A and B are shown apart, each in its own frame.
Chain A
Amino acid sequence: MIERELTVSNRLGLHARATAKLVQLLSAYRSTTTLTAKGREVNAKSIMGVMLLAAGQGTQVKLRVEGEDEDATAEAVCALFERRFDEDS
């Protein structure tokens, strides 16, 4: 299992488009992936799940990945967060 601390740094936070992008990215991977923020853990492959976090800019989230392709999954998610979901450009 891999755990990473991430920060939501794009201006709009984990809004619908960013969430859809995350979920679509994860659909290519097999690992079980969750995000935890504000004491709530959600399935990172579910749009409504991630939207439930209502995570605005600056929110700390914990990524947890478990499965055969967990390294690649964690790397892809971290890269997406670091790229600010390709927003703010």
Chain B
Amino acid sequence: MSVGILLITHEGIGSAILAVATRLLRTLPLRTEVLEVPFEGDPDALLPLASAALRRVDGGQGVLVLTDLYGATPSNLAAKVARLGTPVRRVSALSLPMLLRVMNYAEEDLDELPMVAGAGARNGVIVDEA
């Protein structure tokens, strides 16, 4: 059993990052879905969609929800789905290095994966002075 991954982002972000990660890794070791929130999206109206996506990726070990921008509507929606009963941990500032690191630590449980995701994002920032 493993943790599910749900990307909740602004339009165009989550699907693009997931597409590249899938190209690089060929198959993703964790069940992953994307929910993109339109600019005019109403978080309350989107909650059933988010809830359905959450249930689809949950294999019983909980779901790591990755959002692109803390405090924005997608991350506020993520906060709402975290209160539905399924064990959820949330990390913001989704990036390709973050998602790749999470997939590289696919055997970790839900309590460990937020730190893995955070380290992935931080380690991905290289101020290139070479």
Interface of chain A: mostly helix, strand, loop or mixed: helix
**CB-contacts of A17-36 with B (<8 A):** 17, 20, 23-24, 27
Known interface pairs A47-B104, A48-B97. Does A20 touch B25 (Cβ–Cβ under 8 Å)? Answer: yes
Given A17-B24, A20-B25, A47 and B130 touching (CB < 8 A)? no
Q: Which of B8-16, B38-46, B51-59, B119-127 lies on the face that meets chain A? A: B119-127
Residue B100 is within 8 A (CB to CB) of chain A in the complex? yes
Q: Mark B31-51, 1 if CB is under 8 A from A, else 0.
A: 000000000000000000000
Task: State whether the Cβ of A52 lies closer than 8 Å to any Cβ in chain B.
Answer: yes
Contact assessment for B104 and A17 in the assembled complex, using a CB-CB cutoff below 8 Å = no
Q: Are B101 and A48 in contact, CB atoms less than 8 angstroms apart?
A: yes
Instruction: Decide yes or no: A16 and B101 within 8 Å by CB, A48-B120, A54-B130 being known contacts.
Output: no
A23 to B97, CA, bound (A): 14
Q: Does B83 contact A (CB under 8 A)?
A: no
Per-position binary interface string of chain B over residues 89-125, scored 1 when its CB falls under 8 Å from any chain A CB and 0 otherwise:
0000000010011001000000000000000100110
A86–chain B nearest beta-carbon distance, Å: 11
Contact assessment for A24 and B25 in the assembled complex, using a CB-CB cutoff below 8 Å: yes
A7 within 8 A of B: no
Residues of B within 8 A of A24 (CB): 25
CB distance A23 to B104 under 8 Å? yes
> Which residues on B are within 8 Å of A, measured CB to CB?
23-25, 97, 100-101, 104, 120, 123-124, 126, 130
A-B contact pairs, 10 of them (CB 8 A): A46-B101, A46-B104, A47-B97, A47-B100, A47-B104, A48-B97, A48-B100, A48-B101, A48-B120, A54-B130
- Please give the residue numbers on chain A whose beta carbons come within 8 Å of chain B beta carbons, in ascending order: 16-17, 20, 23-24, 27, 45-48, 52, 54
